[in-house]
Amino acid sequence: MSAPSKSRENILERVRAATKTVALPPAELAAACASIPRDYIRRGGMTVTACQERFIERLREYDAEVVETTEEELPATIAAQLAGSGKHTFVAPAGLPAAWQAEGFEWKLDGGLSAAEIEKAEGVVTAAFCGVADSGTIVLHHSATEGRRVITLLPDWHLCVVYASQVVETLPEYFDRCGQTPGLATYISGPSATADIEMTRIKGVHGPRFLHVVLVRDSGQ
Amino acid sequence: MSQGVYHPVLDPAKARPFPEAVLPVLRNPQLRKNVAHAIDVIQAKRGKLVVEKTDWQALRTAGAAIRTHALENLGAYLTQFEERCTAAGGVVHWAADAAEARQIILNLLREENASEVIKIKTMTSAEIQLNPFLEAAGVRTYETDLAEIILQLGEDEPSHIVVPALHVNRAQVREIFARRMGLKDLSDDPRELTNAARNYLRRKFLDIPTAISGANFLVAETGSVVVVESEGNGRMCLTLPRTMITLAGIEKVLPRFQDLEVMLQVLARSATGERMNPYTSIWTGVTPGDGPQKFHVVLLDNGRSSILAKKTERQTLKCIRCAACMNACPVYRQTGGHAYGSVYPGPIGAILTPQLMQMHHAQTLPFASSLCGACYEVCPVKINIPEVLLELRSQVVNQERREAGRLFDPMYLGLRIANLIFSRAWIFHTAQFLGRIGLGVFTRKDGWIHSLPSVGGKWTQTRDLRGLPKQTFHGWWAARAAKPSGEAK
Amino acid sequence: MRVSLFITCYNDTLFPETGRAVVKLLERLGVELEFHPRQTCCGQMHANTGFRAEAFSQAKRFVRLYQDTETVVIPSSSCVAMIRDQYPGLFAELGNEELRKQFAALLPRVFELSEFLVDRLKVKDVGAYFPHRVTYHASCHGVRALHLGDRPWKLMNKVRGMEQVPLANLDRCCGFGGTFSVKNAEVSSAMLAVKLQDIVATGAEFCTALDNSCLMHLGGAMHRQYAGMKTIHLAEILASTETSPAEGVA
């Protein structure tokens, strides 16, 4: 790297001088941050059922296809979705359950596939970390079952399996679920879009234009 | 715009004063229509969502408190961010000013032997005028955000911080793409235009190994960077290249990861009228096997630490670049962004730009407001923009009044005289009397004034003024009190 | 109730009829009105144009003038906003402890006209009669600085004979902005043009508001353009009765 400049010291010096009368001693910082009043809605008031229905409703507003299924029926549902897509080659994250990799399709298991290889696939199937009903958001933390970021970016078709127990109502509830903060995260709320030309909303610019969500009615939260 | 008719200058050091800069814009029906239309769409969507979000005011309060706390303790949070980001494999650089930031970035690109770079939209890079600098140094820059492509290919400048090409209509976009992408049969259908951009960019995303981004937020607790977007070009640039360079103003810091629960809720609703933008990407340093394996953050001061030092002005730095203020601004609605002569236009630009210039330039911007307060009402982090505008106006006046030339400036003279007039009732009353006589010269038979000289002429350009009544209110009151009958005191 | 009227510098000079209407209205409601003969200006024009020292000298004068007054009523929301929003900063920066105390004691006793009627006199029906089509422009300071809310409507809804027509974008700034109207005259005029479109579209005879500053700007353009509409301060509507109609209105 280049030789260290004085700028770091100068900038921090200026910043500290600028906030001399208001900055807190390090020992008090965390407590002060924690005591910032948060009177906004943290937990939603919807029932579990209503919450899941809201999630589905929001996803459908984004033109995502949503199908519900049970844990037993999940592999069959996935297979049906894949069959209905008219596509043949799919990328799977390294940790995708084998049961989800339906027969009759070509599966590229991602153990470090190149972009060129991923481009040859027509779709991708992943799990998710969480779903936020209020905004119809799917949260990926890119674990083994969710996959590296590139595999949910390059293909045009994404099937995402979300368990009902993963669905929360509000965004703060998702943050409560985080526990360990994720190093990588992608929040997906609808397909990509632009309104840059005369505010006309065009969907599907970069990233998958087709999102299918399989909502699994598991044993609950 | 693209045809050389009107090339905006977004260098505050060179831009024309606001009252002059607006003139060609105000006479441009196309542009005024485009701007009003874009604003109306966003405002309508935002309006619905704000009503729906019953805790909207509580979110604003929390957002303001979080940002204030972050700024008041910026030193601690910046070092925490640096420590965590570095521990995760990122390299943090510090740039005191625009020139240093440009040089740091160029050096990093040279280390990578990069002759091309893809960019995610970042106003901060426009602030430091990065693209022309890199181009001159032999690095081709490719904007990947649709609006930025329109502007880059059209040799134009952004006029809004969220929808930078809102002043351009579809016919103009078609012309730019047809010419610069060589697509003769392109229609002006927005879908087709967007597809043209999508195709134009696909290979670039896959082939160019170096990318530059901005940051919506830097999270101190985790050392993470957050980028909020709609199109997916951000995800492309953040995932495919080998080397990632993120440029961010030092004020972008949030203390904790959890603080995003407030910021993300208010940002999308304010910026685009959505509950959540399509894609938000969060990454921390380098993740082996996933995304760029070389990651640099360039932290930019460029005048922010000076703003931080000032009690009233510090709140300027709370800004999360949502553009709600300019969407609500009745001035911006008529002028669009270019007239502000800065990449930061509208209400936030009116206070941020002159301050970034250490008050040496853009001194007309704090006056580019009727102080209606609509901006403060919508700001998700409660920046009291009118309060800062007034403070900056006072600073500009204090600078200017010392200039010899101002002695006979009609505005300065008039205000000094007015102050004298208001200091004593007898002077005030005398002035009213003399004023009535003086203005009587200009008063027509119908009792109205149609034309005045000097500063007054600025009023009568478009408005009549009713002539001063023969009797003032206080005169009427005194006469009434003097009457023997009636409610005398 | 003894109430002191601060007429404002521009009403005193340009719109004495508004002052006369305020007097007529308040006396009709049983208020004993005072008028301090030495009043001049609240300092808003200077404060808003960046002349803080000058604004402070006027603010000081205002506070001293009214320090012993029970209640001050002001028929101008922008002037009340100046006193509420800007005086604290001016006195903190340029004043002394004594002045700050005097101001703090005075502040709760200062009212904009509609606030005074609705909150202090607790009256909505002021006995007004104004048989005309009227549209209401919600001045920025009234809406966003004073949070007047529905007070104007509480009063307007009780005016007999008056037909109210809602104004589209009623709280969008008219473009006056004080010295902005001349320092940025062209932008001010553009905002005015757009505002006038909404106002004229109502088909009303009168546009009313709680601030003559806005009305001077709007009315000036209406007059220039032969727009077939006039402006009138809400005080004049509220003061108007069958036997004593508003001045200058047929």
Task: State pLDDT tens for residues B84-110.
Answer: 999 999 999 999 999 999 999 999 999
- Choose one of B276, B306, B336: the last residue of a domain: B306
What Cα–Cα distance (Å) separates residue B143 from each residue in A178, B50, B121, B212, B327?
A: 34, 32, 7, 10, 24
| 8 A C-beta contact, residue B431 and residue B421 | yes
Domain end among B306, B333, B360: B306
Count CB-CB contacts under 10 A for residue B254.
26
Q: What is the pLDDT of residues B383-436, one digit of tens each?
A: 999 999 999 999 999 999 888 778 788 888 899 999 999 999 999 999 999 999
Of chain B, the end-to-end C-alpha distance in Å amounts to 68
Indicate the pLDDT class of residue A220, thresholds 50, 70 and 90: low
Residue B435: C-alpha distances to residues A29, B414, B426, C200 (Å): 60, 13, 14, 32
Q: Which of B449, B489, B487 is nearest to B468 (CA)?
A: B449
Tell me whether residue A40 is exposed, middle or buried, using C-beta atoms within 10 angstroms of its C-beta: 0 to 12, 13 to 18, 19 or more. Answer: buried
**Residue B280 is which amino acid?**
T
Cβ <8 Å between B474 and C37: yes
Query: pTM here?
Result: 0.95
If DSSP codes are grouped into helix, strand and coil, which group holds residue B144? coil
Residue B383: inside a domain: no
Q: Note whether B297 and B414 are same-domain residues.
A: no
State which residues form the domain around B432: 408-482
Q: Which two tokens stand for residue C166?
A: 């809602």
Residue B7 has pLDDT above 70, yes or no: no
Percent of residues, chain B, with pLDDT higher than 70 = 97
Domain extent for C86: 2-120
CATH code 3.40.50.10490 for A48-217: no
B182-186, B207-211, C19-23, range with the lowest pLDDT: B182-186
- Check whether residue B288 and residue B141 sit in a common domain: yes
Mean confidence (pLDDT) of chain B:
94
The verdict on residue B326 lying in a domain is no
Residue B6 pLDDT greater than 60, yes or no:
no
User: pLDDT digit string (tens) for B215-242?
Assistant: 999 999 999 999 999 999 999 999 999 9
Q: CA-to-CA distance for C186 and C175, rounded, in angstroms?
A: 10
Domain-located, residue C196 = yes
Angle between helices B74-87 and A7-18 (to 10 degrees): 140
Whether B58 sits inside 8 A of A40 (CB atoms) is yes
Q: How far is residue C44's CA from residue C48's CA, in Å, rounded to a whole number?
A: 6
Domain final residue, candidates B269, B285, B306:
B306
Residue C172 sits in the same domain as residue C212? yes
Chain segment B332-379, per-residue pLDDT in tens: 999 999 999 999 999 999 999 999 999 999 999 999 999 999 999 999
Distance of CA C85 to the CA centre of its chain: 16
- Per-residue pLDDT, B4: 36
Residues B153 and B266 placed together within one structural domain of the fold: yes
- Residue A2's pLDDT band (boundaries 50, 70, 90)? very low
- A119-139 average pLDDT score: 97
- Is the model's pLDDT at B487 over the cut of 70? no
What pLDDT was estimated at residue A4? 64
Confidence bin at B166 (pLDDT 50/70/90): confident
C and A adjacent (3 or more CB pairs under 8 angstroms): no
Element (H or E) spanning B19, and its range? helix B18-26
Which DSSP string do the residues of B279-319 spell out, in sequence order? EEEEEES-BTTBS-SEEEEEEE-TTHHHHHT-TTGGGGGG-
Asked if B298 contacts B105 with a C-beta cutoff of 8 angstroms, the reply is yes
Interchain proximity B257–A11, CB inside 8 Å:
no
Please indicate, yes or no, whether residues C229 and C188 belong to a single structural domain of this protein.
yes
pLDDT tens figures, B442-473? 999 999 999 999 999 999 999 999 999 999 99
Q: Which of B280, B258, B263 has its CA nearest to residue B321? A: B263
pLDDT tens digits, A55-114: 999 999 988 999 999 999 999 999 999 999 999 999 999 999 999 999 999 999 999 999
The ranges of chain C with pLDDT < 50 are none
Per-window interface: B 416-435 vs C, CB < 8 A: 416, 418-419, 421-425, 428, 432, 435
User: Residue B2: pLDDT above 70?
Assistant: no
CATH number at residue B95: 3.40.50.10420
Please give the Cα distance from A129 to A162 (Å, whole number): 8
pLDDT of B488 reads 43
Q: What does the pLDDT read at residue B485?
A: 60
Say if residue A221's pLDDT is above 60.
no
The phi, psi pair for B235, rounded to 5°, reads -60, -40
d(CA B48, CA B41): 11
- Whether the CB-CB separation of A58 and A89 falls below 8 Å is answered with no
The number of domains in chain B is 2
Decide if C221 is inside a domain.
yes
Q: How many domains does chain C have?
A: 2
% pLDDT > 90, chain B: 86
Evaluate whether residue C125 is within a structural domain. no
* DSSP code at position A164: G
CB-side neighbour CA atoms (13 Å) of B227: 29
B56 part of a folded domain: no
Q: What percentage of chain A exceeds 90 in pLDDT?
A: 86
Tell whether B365 is covered by a domain. Answer: no
Interface of B with C in 2-21 (CB under 8 A): 18-19
Q: Is the ipTM of this complex over 0.95?
A: yes
**Residue C187 to residue B335, Cβ atoms within 8 A:** yes
Q: Which residues pair with A73 in a beta bridge?
A: none
Half-sphere exposure of C20 (CA within 13 A, CB side): 20
* Amino acid A157: pLDDT: 96
Residue B108 lies in a domain: yes
The residue among C38, A27, C220 whose CA lies nearest residue B424 is C38
**Distance between CA atoms of residues C52 and C58, nearest Å:** 10
In a domain? residue B167: yes
Q: B219 forms bridges with which residues in the sheet?
A: B224, B254
Domain spans of chain A, in order of start: 48-217
Confidence of residue A1 (pLDDT cuts 50, 70, 90): very low
- Name the B residues in 186-205 with CB < 8 Å from any A CB: 190-191, 193-194, 197-198, 201, 205
CATH at C211: 3.40.50
* Whether residues C115 and C12 fall in one domain: yes
Q: In the prediction, which pLDDT does B405 show?
A: 79
> For residues C205 and C214, what is the distance between their CA atoms, to the nearest angstrom?
17
Contact yes or no for B372 and C177 at CB 8 A: yes
**CA distances (Å), origin B384, targets B356, B462, C144:** 18, 31, 12
